[in-house]
Structures are given as C-alpha cells and as structure tokens.
C-alpha cells in the first residue's frame, strides 16, 4: 500500500485587522410592535410597562401609536437585547418584530 503524505499546514501569520469595538455593541436593531385585533389597549399599555419598565404615560403613548398608526417603534438596541424584548412581547401575546436599522 502506498503511503499517503499529509500536507504541511503553516500557522496563519498574517496580521488581522482589529474590529471596531463599536461594531461589537451595535445598537442597530429596531423593536416594533404591531396592531392586532385581539389585545385590549389597557393590556398593551400594561405589557409595555412591564417589559420596558416605562411609566404609564409613555406606555400609553406607544399603545395609542400602535392603535392609530398600526405600529410603534419601541426601542433601538443591540441584536441580543432587541431579540429578548421581542420574545418577551410575544410571550405576552403581542405582535412584535425586530429589524436591522439601515
């Protein structure tokens, strides 16, 4: 049987560019709540207060925007935080999504 020769693998000696630390903390994800025909306005206000720890007036303002305009931009966060908020809102039965802020 012929002997196979393993290729020689040299270590990577090229210098890699350092990433911008601001990229590691990208705050470019939007959390959006959408209107739905199921949840009552008082309930939506309550959920926004619970999830974001907002005062009632701020939560009501966003609830009214959701109700009247069909959606409200709730916050702009890192990917992980935005994803966490969306999961919390969905857990309460609200229609929420996240998207990259271009």
pLDDT per position as a tens digit, 1-27: 566 666 666 666 665 555 555 555 577
Q: Is 44 helix (H, G, I), strand (E, B) or coil?
A: helix
**Residue at 69 is within a domain:** yes
Whether 94 maps to a domain, the answer reads yes
Domains held by the chain: number: 1
Q: What is the pLDDT of residues 44-102, one digit of tens each?
A: 999 999 999 999 999 999 999 999 999 999 999 999 999 999 999 999 999 999 999 87
- Measured CA to CA, the distance from residue 28 to residue 102 in angstroms comes to 7
Q: Is the pTM of this model over 0.95?
A: no
**Predicted local distance difference test score (pLDDT) of residue 27:** 74
Short-list 32, 97, 98, CA closest to 65: 32
What kind and span of H or E run contains 29? Answer: strand 29-34
83 part of a folded domain: yes
pLDDT at position 99 is 96
Residue 38 has pLDDT above 70, yes or no: yes
- Report which DSSP code applies to 2: P
Structural domain span for residue 91: 41-100
pLDDT of amino acid 102: 78
Report the side by side order of strands in the sheet with 29-34.
Answer: 71-77, 29-34, 95-100
Q: Give domain status of residue 81, yes or no.
A: yes
What pLDDT is recorded for position 25?
A: 56
């Amino acid at each position: 049987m012929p002997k196979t020769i393993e290729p020689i693998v040299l270590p990577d000696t090229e210098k890699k560019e350092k990433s911008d630390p601001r990229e590691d903390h990208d705050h470019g994800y939007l959390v959006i709540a959408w209107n739905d025909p199921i949840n009552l306005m008082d309930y939506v206000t309550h959920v926004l207060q619970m999830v974001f720890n907002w005062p009632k007036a701020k939560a009501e303002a966003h609830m009214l925007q959701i109700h009247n305009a069909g959606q409200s931009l709730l916050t702009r966060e890192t990917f992980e935080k935005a994803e966490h908020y969306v999961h919390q809102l969905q857990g309460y039965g609200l229609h929420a999504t996240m998207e990259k802020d271009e």
